Amino acid sequence: MDDVKETIRQFILSTYLPGESADNLRDDTPLMTSGVLDSLATLGLVSFVEREFGIELDAYETGVETFDRIEDIAALVARKRSH
């Protein structure tokens, strides 16, 4: 689970927040509601998550309740993998 979070964190930092310190992007930092993840960034992250963790996401699974925090995304990945 921690590996998943770290992988997602590194992707977000390198792709959307270059120059930002990893310490400032905590597991519970809001991403969608703070504007870091807009629709385009969400799509980019969806592609990354699907590719990286070998899962397939549905359009309905890209809402704020599953993609607003790194911990939420990691939980979604874990749920999908367990199915």
User: Alpha helices, DSSP H only, in the chain?
Assistant: 2-15, 39-53, 64-67, 70-82
Task: Please state, in angstroms and as integers, the Cα–Cα distance from residue 15 to each residue in 20, 62, 82, following that order.
Answer: 11, 18, 28
Site size toward other proteins, by CB under 8 A: 28
Q: Given the complex with other proteins, which of 7 and 17 has the nearer CB atom?
A: 17
- Kindly state whether residue 44 participates in binding other proteins, applying the rule CB under 8 A: yes
- Kindly state whether residue 15 participates in binding other proteins, applying the rule CB under 8 A: yes
Out of 1, 22, 54, 63, the only residue in the binding site for other proteins (CB under 8 A) is 63
Residue span 19-38 as binding mask against other proteins, x where in contact by CB under 8 A, dash where not = -x---xx--xxx--xxxx-x
Residue 26: name the closest of 64, 71, 73 by CA. Answer: 71
